[in-house]
């Protein structure tokens, strides 16, 4: 989950429904601006919140429980653009890619399902991924949820 910033798709309703259904929710919290790092911290209705330097509300990590990314079931990611192969373009700082990239390495990897959230008008013909980019497993827009095939994530087909 995330709290929307700027023109990102707003997930407040989804967050509210998930919370009422008893889901454990974790929001990204920027821990290192210089190296574009973030952690995922437990969010509750009574969470102490703060506004980071980008103007995004996030749980105060000093008062909340963090979880290793590999233990999350699902990560909903904001984006600026996406393509049909499952590549996403973020806002440019690389926080999500740097926080998730290590999950691509290793043979016995357990990782969350990565779903981009945006609008059909953000679809582009083709994005050129960088070696550190992390592909999406699916994309949620106003037209519904669609999953990408694993072979679509091959860097060689870029």
**pLDDT computed for residue 131 by the predictor:** 85
Q: Which tokens sit at 109?
A: 């990897």
CB distance 118 to 9 below 8 Å = yes
Domain ranges of the chain: 12-157
Record the pTM.
0.89
- Minimum mean pLDDT range among 53-62, 76-85, 98-107: 98-107
Burial class (CB in 10 A: 0-12, 13-18, 19+), 22: exposed
Give the pLDDT band of residue 12 (cuts 50, 70, 90): very high
How many CA atoms within 13 Å lie on the side-chain side of 21? Answer: 8
Residues placed in the known binding site: 8, 88-96
Choosing among 3.40.50.10420, 1.20.1740.10, 3.40.50.1110, 3.40.50.970, the CATH entry for 12-157 is 3.40.50.10420
Residues placed in the known binding site for ATP: 88-96
Residues placed in the known binding site for substrate: 8
Q: Output phi, psi for 130, to 5 deg.
A: -90, 165
Q: Which of 145, 135, 133 is nearest to 86 (CA)?
A: 135
């Amino acid at each position: 989950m995330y709290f929307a910033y700027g023109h990102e798709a707003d997930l407040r309703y989804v967050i509210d429904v998930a919370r009422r259904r008893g889901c454990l929710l974790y929001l990204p919290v920027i821990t290192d601006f210089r190296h574009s790092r973030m952690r995922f911290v437990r969010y509750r209705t009574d969470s102490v919140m703060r506004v980071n330097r980008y103007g995004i509300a996030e749980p105060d990590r000093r008062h909340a429980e963090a979880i290793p990314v590999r233990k999350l079931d699902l990560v909903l990611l904001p984006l600026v653009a996406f393509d049909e192969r499952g590549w996403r373009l973020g806002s440019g700082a690389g926080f999500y890619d740097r926080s998730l990239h290590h999950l691509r390495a290793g043979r016995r990897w357990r990782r969350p399902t990565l779903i981009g959230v945006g609008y059909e008008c953000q679809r582009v013909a083709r994005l050129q991924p960088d070696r550190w980019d992390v592909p999406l497993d699916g994309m949620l827009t106003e037209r519904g949820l669609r999953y990408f095939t694993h072979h679509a994530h091959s860097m060689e087909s870029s």
